[in-house]
Amino acid sequence: MGADHPTILIVDDEAPIREMVDFTLSADGFGCVGAGTIAEARTLIAEISPDLLLLDWMLPGGQSGLDFAKALRAGSQIPIIMLTARADNVDKVAALDAGADDFISKPFSPSELKARIRAVLRRSGSPAQAKSGDVIEIDGLCLPESTRRVNADGVLVDLGPTEFRLLHFLMHHPERVYSRGELIGYVWPPNVYVEERTVDVHIRNLRLALEPSGRRGMIQTVRSAGYRFSGH
């Protein structure tokens, strides 16, 4: 659909849930397509390139939604929100580590669902939320808002979803120092416990991804304060 009408792919094996979500989102201007299996979801992703994936954790066929999220992240940066009846914090962290951008525990309210979708689309730089062609570029490091495919001097930089969100946020605020707690608040979804040392792990991963292009030093540690992005 057009930039003002994001397309949402709903992957859930329960037809009543797909229909309820479709009804809720369509009334708010979203375009919705449903899939009952991972096989159907793969086909639809290739055919329609949805702006966001609503993915149920428990799916038939031997592969869970969590497994599918991990597989997708090997070659796609499509935003993913996991739908799950699991409320344990360990499961929420597992979903984020698998590549999900956020999660919603069942049962959920229509207003929460719509708010989380909008928030993820904003954070992800989805074409549905960003102007086509918008690119952040600092000293040869380019972050296209519309594709989420970061490159350094034209060479693709392979980033995980959390590393992308970190870089996206820091490049939007160059030279400003952010504490670990602030980064957790800005980059991670709300209502999930993230330890400060988890930030250090993802910062390290981000630096390793930037190292081949000689840009590891753009992510700077400010002692006793936090981290900043610097193009100098």
| pLDDT in the model for residue 146 | 58
Structural domains of the chain ordered from first start: 7-124 (3.40.50.2300), 135-229 (1.10.10.10)
Q: What is the pLDDT of residues 22-77, one digit of tens each?
A: 998 988 888 999 999 999 999 998 888 888 999 998 888 778 898 999 888 877 77
| pLDDT at site 135 | 74
The whole-model pTM stands at 0.58
Q: Which of 24, 19, 17, 99 is nearest to 64 (CA)?
A: 99
User: What mean pLDDT, rounded, does the chain reach?
Assistant: 84
Confirm if 179 and 228 have CB atoms less than 8 A apart: no
Q: What is the pLDDT of residues 4-36, one digit of tens each?
A: 578 999 999 999 999 999 998 988 888 999 999
